[in-house]
Amino acid sequence: MAPSVVAQVTAMAAEPCRELGLELVDVVYAKEHGRYILRIFIDKPGGVTIDDCEAFSNSIGRLLDEADPIPNQYYLEVSSPGIDRPLKKVEDFDRFSGSKAAIKLYAPLEGRRSWQGILRGVREGQVVLQVEENEVLLPLSQIAKANLLGDIDI
């Protein structure tokens, strides 16, 4: 079976990210409003700039043109993950310990699938989330989606 578009693009993005000092946060390939979109989210300490996005876009664009892993016409979008950054890797839960997060589970735990609280890292294969005065342990294998909750002061 051929690797998925996301898996192929993820593998292709490793070298440009390394060369440019960037972190690959996520790759999303989806059909929206009748057109295919390839979204690649990158980051680095202190945040990415437009110049970072442009440099990465040019680099990955050349690789995508050469390898041609996507059978359809598509639009390439490269950007920062934003304040609601997805948490994809185990390391993300430790790295952003102390930050507010929203986590959705595949199946209910204590009668709930959706949780919000303060990340406290990973312990024995479980994400530790402080919810009010309690610590809740959420199995990594049960996390369907997780992202940071950015604070916006207006």
Domain final residue pick, 31, 53, 79: 79
Beta-bridge partners for 134: 131
Pairing of strands 74-79, 35-43: parallel
Which among 36, 57, 79 is the end of a domain?
A: 79
Tell me the CA distances in angstroms from 62 to 16, 65, 67, 145, one per residue in order: 10, 5, 9, 31
Q: What is the pLDDT of residue 66?
A: 94
Dump pLDDT digits (tens) for 46-91: 899 999 999 999 999 999 999 999 989 999 999 999 989 999 999 9
pTM of the model: 0.82
Query: Which of these ranges, 43-47, 112-116, 135-139, has the smallest mean pLDDT?
Result: 43-47
pLDDT, tens digit, 9 for 90 and up, residues 99-130? 999 999 999 999 999 999 999 999 999 999 99
Domain housing 132: 90-148
Domain-embedded: residue 119: yes
Pairing of strands 112-123, 126-131: antiparallel
Residue 1 pLDDT grade (very low, low, confident, very high; cuts 50, 70, 90): very low
Instruction: Give the model's pLDDT for residue 7.
Output: 94
Torsion angle in degrees (nearest 10) through CA of 49, 55, 57, 59? -150
Q: Kindly state whether residue 31 falls inside one of the protein's structural domains.
A: yes
Domain assignment of residue 153, yes or no: no
Q: Are residues 66 and 9 in the same domain?
A: yes
pLDDT higher than threshold 60 for residue 154: no
**Residues 137, 147: contact at Cβ < 8 Å?**
no
Nearest Cα to Cα of residue 40 among 92, 91, 5: 5
